[in-house]
Amino acid sequence: MKNAQINPFLRRNVRKPLDHSNYLEWITDGSIENCSKLSVGIKSLEDLVKLAIDLHTRVIHDSRLGKYFVLTENMTYIHDPRVKDTMLDKPQLGKLLVERGLLQPQELETGLYYQKRIGCKLGDSLIALGFIDETILYSTLAAQHNLSYYELQTDKIYDSSWLTMMSINKARALQALPMGYRTDGKMMVACGDPFNNGAILALKEALGLNIDIVAARPSQIYEILQRIEKEEKEKNTITQQRKEHKPLSYERLSEEEWVYFMEEYMEGRIDTLLLMKASGFVNENQLAKAPNKEFILGWLTARGLLSGQTANLVISLAKLVGRQNRSDRQLRRIPELLELLQEAYYIKSQDAKWIYTEHLSTNVSLRHLLESNYLVARETIANAQQLLESLKSLVMRAKIS
């Protein structure tokens, strides 16, 4: 037998009785009898608990069976601490690795020896001993089941619109990452356990039947989901902070500034400096440092104080107001979102007409339709709406006054 040093991972991998004391708040002791629903195996108790929280239900612990359950109308999610990940223990796995020249027979023998001795999975044993890596393991498993293998990029920004259909916790429990739509309309989903029929059906239930599954490394899926989760939390925090204290746009201007802005507006001109200040894109201190107010946009963007995208939207909004009739300005008619995005060259006229028709027929918001159809980025839409809302706040104050 080939000599090999036992990786510390193997020693840590000895199975111990599961202690669920950290999750008592979400676990209820009970008995599950004759559960005929489709079952989905969940790898860890932590993932099962997070899934239960998302579903607003509790985890049921059947001590007689030694299993944990989350019951839904159509499915049963199960965590069994005694069950190994059989996907990594397929009897043909070692043979296939040897046949493909990815593993030496003596290395397989050593891996099987330590698998039996330590009580871990064959795949984990071979990785810990340094004979193969995760890519070799999961690409081989994919080939074994006639599936495509996809190497994810953990630093790539993947589509996150699927969060409206499925939570991050559910994606983590199913070891899945929706990556986006192909040109044929199918959603591509990377899955760390694509051989689990229950998990695939659960994904179809959440995302729709028109999905295409590819095998991927679970560690990469978890890393990307963790990054998406962090980004979503940061967005929610910023949104909450804005909600807690969001002054009206005209409150950011002095009385003299507001009067001057309205005088210019009624003549068909937008003071872009005051509009950006009222919108909250720049503050008084930043504006005070500008040496030349005439070229304020260029100065701000060159120093990273304002994005080029926002500057483009401000200029486009000023052009739209300049083309309005005086009667439109007297009636306080503000340009529409689609008008502004089209003026700023973020959307074509035919796409704008199509989206507006969809909006009228489905009652779905313009923002969602633009974003979900990959026409305009989320940040661009948010900045455009912020400018339009600020302009409306400024001019409607005059009407109220």
- The model's pLDDT over 4-41, given as tens digits with 9 standing for 90+, comes to 554 544 444 444 445 677 777 788 888 887 665 677 77
pLDDT at 75: 79
pLDDT at 322: 92
> Is residue 230 one of the residues assigned to a domain?
yes
**Residue 258 and residue 234 share a domain:** no
> Is residue 152 one of the residues assigned to a domain?
no
Q: How many domains does the chain have?
A: 4
Chain mean pLDDT for the chain = 81
pLDDT at 13: 45
HEC assignment per residue over the chain: CCCCCCCHHHHHCCCCCCCCHHHHHHEEECCCCCCCCEEEECCCHHHHHHHHHHCCCCEEEECCCCEEEEECCCEEEEECCCCCCHHHHCHHHHHHHHHCCCCCHHHHHHHHHHHHHHCCCHHHHHHHCCCCCHHHHHHHHHHHCCCCECCCCCCCCCCCHHHHCCCHHHHHHCCEEEEEECCCCCEEEEECCCCCHHHHHHHHHHHCCCEEEEECCHHHHHHHHHHHHHHHHHHHHHHHHHHHCCCCHHHHCCHHHHHHHHHHHHCCCCCHHHHHHHHCCCCHHHHHCCCCHHHHHHHHHHCCCCCHHHHHHHHHHHHHHHHCCHHHHHCCCCCCHHHHHHHCCCCCHHHHHHHHHHHHHHCCCHHHHHHHCCCCCHHHHHHHHHHHHHHHHHHHHHHHC
pLDDT at 113: 83
**Residue 240 and residue 253 share a domain:** no
Highest mean pLDDT out of 179-183, 241-245, 383-387: 383-387
pLDDT at 16: 44
Task: Select from 102, 118, 144 the last residue of a domain.
Answer: 144
Residue 232: which domain range? 161-244
Between the alpha carbon of residue 373 and those of residues 130, 146, 197, 231, 345, the distances in Å are 45, 32, 30, 21, 17
Q: Is the pLDDT of residue 234 over 90?
A: no
**Residue 72 and residue 127 share a domain:** no
Q: Is the pLDDT of residue 110 over 60?
A: yes
Q: Quick one: how far is CA 287 from the chain centroid?
A: 35
pLDDT at 336: 93
Higher pLDDT, 341 or 39: 341
Distance CA 236, CA 238 (A): 5
pLDDT at 15: 42
**Residue 346 and residue 304 share a domain:** yes
pLDDT at 10: 45
Residue 202 is part of a domain; what is its CATH number?
3.30.300.160
pLDDT at 34: 67
**Residue 368 and residue 266 share a domain:** yes
pLDDT at 30: 83
- The model's pLDDT over 182-200, given as tens digits with 9 standing for 90+, comes to 877 888 898 888 877 788 8
pLDDT at 342: 92
> Is residue 351 one of the residues assigned to a domain?
yes
Structural contact between residues 268 and 330, judged by C-beta atoms closer than 8 angstroms: no
> Is residue 313 one of the residues assigned to a domain?
yes
- The model's pLDDT over 113-169, given as tens digits with 9 standing for 90+, comes to 887 777 777 877 888 888 888 888 888 888 777 888 888 887 777 778 888 888 888
**Residue 322 and residue 396 share a domain:** yes
Higher pLDDT, 264 or 95: 264
Q: How confident is the model at residue 248 (pLDDT cuts 50, 70, 90)?
A: low
**Residue 296 and residue 255 share a domain:** yes
Q: Is the pLDDT of residue 205 over 60?
A: yes
**Residue 282 and residue 208 share a domain:** no
> Is residue 129 one of the residues assigned to a domain?
yes
pLDDT at 388: 92
**Residue 257 and residue 170 share a domain:** no
> Is residue 2 one of the residues assigned to a domain?
no
Q: Is the pLDDT of residue 209 over 60?
A: yes
**Residue 388 and residue 261 share a domain:** yes
pLDDT at 7: 52
- The model's pLDDT over 362-388, given as tens digits with 9 standing for 90+, comes to 888 898 899 888 888 888 899 899 899
Distance CA 78, CA 59 (A): 9
| Ranges 61-65, 266-270, 346-350, 391-395: which has the least confidence | 61-65
Look-up: residue for tokens 């499925």?
Answer: 166
Distance CA 197, CA 38 (A): 9
Task: Select from 223, 244, 265 the last residue of a domain.
Answer: 244
**Residue 210 and residue 177 share a domain:** yes
Task: Select from 190, 223, 244 the last residue of a domain.
Answer: 244
Determine what percent of the chain is predicted with pLDDT higher than 90: 11
pLDDT at 321: 92
> Is residue 213 one of the residues assigned to a domain?
yes
Q: Is the pLDDT of residue 243 over 60?
A: no
> Is residue 390 one of the residues assigned to a domain?
yes
**Residue 292 and residue 211 share a domain:** no
